[in-house]
Amino acid sequence: LKTLEDLGKVCDGLALGMPPEAQGRPQGPPGLKANYGCVPKEFVPFSDGGGPVTLRALLDDRIQAADIFSTSPLIAGNNLTALEDPKNNFAAQQVLPLIRSDRVGSKAKDILNKISRVLTTEDLMHLNDKVSGDAKQSPRDAAAAWLKEKNLGSS
């Protein structure tokens, strides 16, 4: 399987793991049915945001498909396949800095904007892996190394 269209062809034999609130939302089973003809055999709710409980269910074959954030290190770390979504059932979600303009000066705004222009999904996957993987680093150390690697300073 490479796409959600492929999944739609076999969906009736699969258990699908997603957050409980997705069950009635367009990005959940209703959208999968409308966009891809995917009606899973079973909807299995998980409240861990596509984390370790969802992963364990996938690896133990209790579910055969799951909703996991594309920046999760669990995907590459467990040889999972992220399916393409040509009909954009799952809206792209972007990381963006939110600040209170009355509390943050223009220098901080400039720094945040500079980082936002450089930070990629692949960078987020790598950073998530560094702070949650086997060789766990502190978020501060991982961020400092990333800033140095991108020639954005070290803190």
Average pLDDT, the chain: 91
- Reported as type and span, the H/E element at residue 59 is helix 52-59
Residue 130 CB neighbour total at 10 angstroms: 19
Higher pLDDT, 18 or 99: 18
- Domains, the chain, with CATH or none: 4-77 (3.40.190.120), 106-149 (no CATH)
Going by pLDDT thresholds of 50, 70 and 90, the confidence category of residue 32 is very high
Q: Confirm if 65 and 13 have CB atoms less than 8 A apart.
A: no
Confidence (pLDDT) at 19: 95
Higher pLDDT, 4 or 96: 4
d(CA 46, CA 67): 10
d(CA 57, CA 10): 19
Going by pLDDT thresholds of 50, 70 and 90, the confidence category of residue 154 is low
Q: Is the dihedral of CA 145, 151, 152, 155 positive or negative?
A: positive
Q: pTM for this one?
A: 0.71
Distances (CA, A) of 129 to 11, 52, 76, 107, 121: 30, 13, 10, 30, 12
What's the pLDDT tens digit per position in 99-120? 888 898 899 899 999 999 999 8
Distances (CA, A) of 131 to 11, 121, 152: 34, 15, 20
d(CA 86, CA 47): 26
What's the pLDDT tens digit per position in 113-146? 999 999 988 898 888 888 876 678 999 999 999 9
What's the pLDDT tens digit per position in 41-97? 999 999 998 999 999 999 999 999 999 988 888 888 898 999 999 999 998 777 788
